[in-house]
């Protein structure tokens, strides 16, 4: 099943608000982890 970003957005916007909030929190956690990992890789290469 190949969904476009637009299709995923439409699905997300159909979720109840509480589920959207939980999704945002999960995404923030994931992005924070990825950012820290990226910084760890790039900052210590110098």
User: Does 45 score more than 80 pLDDT?
Assistant: no
How far is residue 38's CA from residue 10's CA, in Å, rounded to a whole number?
30
Return the DSSP state at 15: S
| pTM across the whole model | 0.70
CA atoms within 13 Å, Cβ hemisphere of 44? 6
Q: Where are the alpha helices (DSSP H) in 1-46?
A: 5-14, 17-43
Alpha-carbon Rg for the chain, nearest whole angstrom, is: 15
Residue whose token pair is 């699905």: 11
Q: What is the pLDDT of residue 44?
A: 67
Enclosing domain of residue 19: 5-43
pLDDT tens string 1-43: 899 999 999 999 999 999 999 999 999 999 999 999 998 888 7
The number of domains in the chain is 1
User: Does 46 score more than 60 pLDDT?
Assistant: no
């Amino acid at each position: 099943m190949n969904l476009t970003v637009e299709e995923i957005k439409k699905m997300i916007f159909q979720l109840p608000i509480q589920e959207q909030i939980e999704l945002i929190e999960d995404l923030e956690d994931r992005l924070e982890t990825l950012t820290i990992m990226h910084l760890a890789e790039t900052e210590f290469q110098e």
